[in-house]
Structures are given as structure tokens and as C-alpha cells.
Amino acid sequence: MRRTAEGLRDYPVVVATVAVGLLGGALELTGAAGAARWVVSAFAVVVALMQVRGMVEDLRAGTYGIDLLAVTAIGSAVAVGEYWAALVVCLMLAGGEALEVHAAGRARRELTGLLENAPSTAHRLGREGRITEVPVDDVAVGDRLLVRPFEVVPVDGVLESDGATLDESSLTGESLPVDRSRGEEVLSGVVNGGEAIEVRATAPAAESQYQRIIELVRQAQDSRAPFVRLADRVAVPFTLGALALAVGAWVVSGDPSRMAEVLVVATPCPLIIAAPVAFMGGMSRSARNGVIVKSSGTLEQLARIRTVAFDKTGTLTYGEPRVTAVHVAGGLDGRELLALAAAVEQYSSHPLAAAVVDRARAERVDVPAATDVAEVPAHGVRGTVDGCVVAVGSARFVARETSSAPARPPAGTTGVHVALDGRYAGYLALADELRAEARATMASLHRAGVRTTMMLTGDGEDVARHIAEQAGIDDVRAELLPEDKVEAVRTAAAHPVMMVGDGVNDAPVLSAADVGVAMGARGSSAASESADVVITVDDLSRSARAVQIGRRTMRVAWQAIGIGVAMSVGLMVVAAGGMLPAIVGAWLQEVVDLACILWALLAVRPSRAERAEVARVAADTTAAARSRAGHPVLT
């Protein structure tokens, strides 16, 4: 009962319209038909004046007076004595707005869910294990936090407990719990499992992943698309045509009530309601798929994308070097060569050294200890392992150690060469591997109607072309500075252009593109702030899914508008022929509005073709990962 009362307070015009209807009906039953006419007519005129005020405010804000037809319908119905029809139009307008709010609220549910789950407090652990509850904004980097069972992790951090089972669905869409081990990164917004855990904060609340997503959601919720303004403009010729038909019916029939009968079924509520509901549905579904669309206008652009450009490092690739092959040139086998290299590289600070050590651990190779380790900056490292001198580094460094030319690694890879007691022993090929889903993503974009895929990178030509060939990219632009990337996007042959990137250096080109998409799961905050769309999951295929959702949203919006206009025109023609009383027409227009809203809500759900496309991309990605796993690293 309390919830019902609160709901009624949210829609006062609906309540007032029903109350006036009951009062008017009571007056007529008691024989006071004249009083009923005056009460109902006066109320209808008040509602019309409220609509006029709204029209004036819209005109001042730069939008057209879309409610002109509704005002005309009420006025003409009152003028010819069809006051009950005028009241039904009032109910239609007020009820349509209430339905729009309710439908938009349903479509918005996934977006607001993020805000509702935002943590406001954290449990800070003191030196003696004392727990203090503090506002989440007071958490500092380095603080130890206790996250109780089924609580939301308040800030980004590192897991201090031995292990944890986390629900990451609010960030990644992954429905199954994820197991994390000590030392792994834990993002804010994930939900802890059934055991309390300790987390060491690595970022304040304002800079944590969940807060960044929340800020993007806030921007998304209050946006309004150019497409909705297009619907406003469509309503103008619709209004003029309806007025012309109404006046013509009056002139031909000689009956002024015929004009009112036409106008009561001509209210352009489908144009007012359908597009916003469809766009909120599309934004809601995007959020559920790990794609935050900052403005509903971006959905319109996504639907029309013709060129998609990608950064390479961290976008098409994983953004970190990995050992892809071990090539031996002496009497050692692959495992032995990897063990020797890792033995000295574990003391190096070079980024490639960590990749060598990580591969040794992944292959469960026993890494021996090294002594007398000395690092030659920018060249390599040398040390003693089991009485043998091992040198690991660049081709030039190892060539000096061995007085021979090292082997050349495959195109697109970097060689970490190894010498043993002055003899060349082989190399480890390292590369920033192409994402398993990259090729499937390019194919999905082409099937969605994208004409050209591009790679814009600052890397060398050979590496760029190697990656582009693997991914199936049409156009490769290498050795570009940030300003060169901007120029490439602006001069692309087919617009609109979507740019996908993740780094700080991508921020300018993300801003310059018609739609900028940031890989926000691991990318820089500068890229996320400059982009129109942020992918919160470390999955490149979500860029293709964003285009598909945009197309689906636009298609549903136009269909909803088309259905409403077609039904309204049909009713107007019947009314012009004198076969539709004004009171019946007013109720039928309510049915038209409801049909438009229900159809627009289809944007919340994927189509059958979209579901098939997602399954196809997933299958292609799995096949690519298995194919890659079939090529052994150790030979």
C-alpha cells in the first residue's frame, strides 16, 4: 500500500485526471450534466495550458513544439462539446509520460545497478589488527582493508590473503566466480565470496576502477541523442499533415466534430516516447556486456560506423612481451636453454627479463641459482650458473661474447640471445602476442557492415604488418606519432570512424574520431576520459558487439516510430470518414502509445542474429587459442 501511494505521488497529473473523471461521472449520474461538462472541460483546458508552457520551454531550449497536435486535439474536442474525449487525451498524455518513465526505468536497471552497489565505507585494519570503519574516500594507498563475506571490494588493491573467490560480474559480465591468489590484483566493485579476505589498497577510491565506471554511468544517464531530436523534427510534418486532414474532413463533411475526431488519434506520442526508451534499452544492454556508452547519441554513431581503426600495443595485442618460441643452436634442449636464461634474467630489471622468468615458471622448469651476476645496461646480463658463464641479451651483446653472428629470430619477434662459455647457444623469441579474439573481431565487424579496418601504430613497419596480417586488418599505418594518428582518422575514406585504443598516447585520436573506444580494463585513465565508449572487460570483441548493439538499437527505435505513425495514420483516415467517435479514438491512441513503448523495449534484448554472431565469435576465438596452444614453445 505504501509503495502504491508513493507511486501515485510520482504521477500527479494521472491521479488528477482520474479524479476529475470520477467526479464528472458522478455529476452526470446525479443529473448535473452541465456541471460535469464545465468541470471536465475546465480541467482539460488547464492540462492544455500546461502543455503550451512546456512547448514554450522546449522552443527556448532549441527544440520544436512537438505537443502542438495534442494541444490542438484537446482544444478542438472541448470546442465541439466532446469533453469526455478531451479528458481521455489528457489521460493519454499523462499516462504516456508515466509509461515512458516506467519503461526507461526498466531499461536503465543495469546502469543504475552499478550506482546502487557503490561501496560507501571500508574496514581498515590497524597495526594490532583493530578494525576501524572509515568512509571509502578516506582510504589511502597502502592501507590494509578487511573485506567481509559478500561485501563489495571498496578500492583497487592487491590480495593479501592466501586466496579468494570473487564475483566479478558487475565489472566483467562473467557469471561464474573467479579464484584469485595472494599478490593478484583485485578491482573495486567485485563482490567477495563466503570468507573474509585482506586487501592492500593500491589506489584511492576516486582513482579505482569502480568509481571510474560509476562516473561514466553518470554521464550516460543524462544524455539525449541527436536521433531523438530527429524524431522531434519528424513530428512537424506529421503534425501539419494531421491538421490538413482534420480541416479537410471538417470542410468536406461540414461537421466541426469531425476535426476533433481526427485530431484525438493524431497525437504524436510515439515520436516522443519510442526513441528515448529504445536508446535507454540499448545503453542498458551495452552496460550488461561490459561496454559503457557515455551518451545515447553515441549509439546512433555506432550504428553508422564504416571504418574502425585500432591501436596495436595493448589493443590488438596483450600489451606485454611473452616468450613464443625457444630456438637452440648447440647441444642443449629447449628446457635447458630456458633454465639458463631465466637463471641470470631473474636478477635483471629489464622488462624482457620478467617475460623469460615467467615462461620458465609456466613451463615448470627448475631455475638454478646464479652468481657473480652483472648487468650491462641496455645490452644484457652476465653471470655464472653451475660453473658456466652465461650471457643473455641483445644480438650485438652476445655477438661480442661469442665472436659470431647470432641467428635471426622470426619476423615480428624480438630475440633474447644466449651464450654459454663463449659459444652461441640459441635464442628465445619474444613478441607482444595478438589477442586470440582479434581475427574473429575483424570478421565480425565486416559482417556488421564495416567497410575498412585499420591499424594505427607507432611501431615499425615489419612488426605492424606481421600483426595486421595475423589479425586480418585491411589498412596498416606504422611509425605514426599521435598527431599522425589524428590525421589518419580525419582523412579516412569512409566516415563515421571508430577508433579503439588503450594508452595515454591514444587520447588525442580517441577524441578526434567520430566514436572513440577505450579498452578501459587495463588501459590508461586518459584514454577512458577521452573516449565515447569504454570497454570494461579485457576483450577486444566487445568493440564489435558495441557496433551490433548500436545497429540493433537504431533499428528498434525506427520500427517503434514506424509502428506508431502507421497506426495513427490509419486511425486518422478512419476518423476522417466519420467511422470513429472521438471518445473511442482517444482510447485507441492510448493503445498505440503502449504498443510503441513495448516495441521500443525490445532494444534491451539481443536479436536472434546477434546471439548467433556472439556464438560464432566465441567459437572462432576458442579455435584460434587452441591453434596457438598447438604450437609448442619449447623445441
Is the separation of the CB atoms in 490 and 512 below 8 Å? yes
User: Is it the case that residue 369 has pLDDT exceeding 80?
Assistant: yes
Task: Concatenate the DSSP letters of all residues of 256-272 into one string.
Answer: HHHHHHHHTT---HHHH
CATH number for the domain spanning 184: value is 2.70.150.10
Is 506 domain-assigned? Answer: yes
358 and 395 within one domain: yes
Is 539 domain-assigned? Answer: no
Is the four-CA dihedral 331, 337, 339, 343 of positive or negative sign? Answer: positive
195 and 165 within one domain: yes
Q: How many domains does the chain have?
A: 4
Cell output for 554:
537504431
Please report the pLDDT score of residue 138 as a whole number: 92
Last residue of a domain, one of 431, 459, 490: 431
265 and 343 within one domain: no
Cell output for 518:
577505450
239 and 181 within one domain: no
311 belongs to the catalytic site: yes
313 and 235 within one domain: no
Catalytic: which of 67, 232, 311, 506?
Answer: 311
CATH number for the domain spanning 418: value is 3.40.1110.10
pLDDT, tens only, 433-476: 889 999 999 999 999 999 999 999 887 788 888 889 999 999 99
Q: How confident is the model at residue 208 (pLDDT cuts 50, 70, 90)?
A: confident
91 and 50 within one domain: yes
| β-strand partners of 33 | none
Please report the pLDDT score of residue 505 as a whole number: 64
User: Is it the case that residue 524 has pLDDT exceeding 90?
Assistant: no
Q: Rounded to an integer, what distance in angstroms lies between the CA atom of residue 238 and that of residue 236?
A: 5
For a pLDDT cut of 90, what percent of the chain falls above it? 29
User: Is it the case that residue 580 has pLDDT exceeding 70?
Assistant: yes
User: Is it the case that residue 106 has pLDDT exceeding 80?
Assistant: no
Q: Rounded to an integer, what distance in angstroms lies between the CA atom of residue 547 and that of residue 444?
A: 10
Pairing of strands 163-167, 191-192: antiparallel
572 and 586 within one domain: yes
> Under 8 Å CB-to-CB from 27, ≥6 apart: which residues?
33, 35, 36, 39
User: Is it the case that residue 631 has pLDDT exceeding 90?
Assistant: no
Please report the pLDDT score of residue 419 as a whole number: 92
Least confident segment among 425-429, 565-569, 630-634: 630-634
Average pLDDT for residues 24-53, to the nearest whole number?
Answer: 88
240 and 91 within one domain: yes
Please report the pLDDT score of residue 298 as a whole number: 87
Is 117 domain-assigned? Answer: no
Range of the domain at 181: 140-203
245 and 102 within one domain: yes
Average pLDDT for residues 269-292, to the nearest whole number?
Answer: 81
Least confident segment among 5-14, 114-123, 438-447: 5-14
Closest CA to 572 of 261, 150, 363: 261
415 and 326 within one domain: yes
Q: Rounded to an integer, what distance in angstroms lies between the CA atom of residue 100 and that of residue 92?
A: 12
The burial of 221, by beta-carbon neighbours within 10 Å (0-12 exposed, 13-18 middle, 19 or more buried), is given as: middle
pLDDT, tens only, 384-417: 998 999 999 888 889 998 988 888 888 767 889 9
